[in-house]
């Protein structure tokens, strides 16, 4: 019974995949602004928040104190700006000053000159 319930939940999760739910890696180079920053798609961010409301407020819109939306595979190294490639991360993990925080760690791991 429990096994059937788990399979049903997994199937329903896949059935809800919409047009914004691509794979995590993209074959298309992301668009960059004149200053070099990558343009993020507002429709993808809205869709992500529709499926995954703010962890602290449970709201789909507005500020989400203490949390940031993060790309699992960074855009700069071929990750898609897609719902399937986004996650909520606490600010302490994503943007802290320690060298092992996610954004700093990614810059080391995904360096172009890394062997």
How do strand 86-90 and strand 67-71 relate by DSSP bridges?
Answer: antiparallel
Give every CB contact of residue 22 below 8 A, 6+ residues apart in sequence: 80, 82, 84, 85
CA triple 64-57-102, angle to 5 deg: 40
Radius of gyration of the chain (CA): 16
Listed by start position, the domains of the chain span: 20-109
Give every CB contact of residue 15 below 8 A, 6+ residues apart in sequence: none
pTM: 0.68
Q: What mean pLDDT comes out for the span 104-112?
A: 75
State the DSSP code for 40.
Answer: P
Each residue of 29-58: pLDDT tens digit?
A: 777 788 888 888 899 999 999 999 999 999
Q: Which of 12-16, 61-65, 69-73 shows the lowest per-residue confidence on average (mean pLDDT)? A: 12-16
């Amino acid at each position: 019974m429990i096994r059937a319930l788990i399979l049903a939940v997994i199937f329903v999760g896949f059935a809800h995949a919409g047009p914004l739910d691509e794979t995590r890696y993209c074959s298309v180079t992301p668009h960059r602004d004149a200053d070099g920053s990558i343009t993020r798609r507002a429709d993808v961010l809205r869709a992500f928040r529709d499926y995954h409301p703010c962890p602290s407020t449970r709201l789909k819109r507005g500020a989400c104190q203490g949390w940031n939306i993060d790309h699992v595979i960074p855009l700069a190294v071929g990750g898609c700006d897609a719902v399937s490639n986004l996650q909520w991360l606490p600010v302490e993990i994503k943007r802290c000053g320690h060298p092992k925080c996610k954004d700093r760690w990614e810059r080391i791991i995904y360096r172009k000159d890394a062997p």
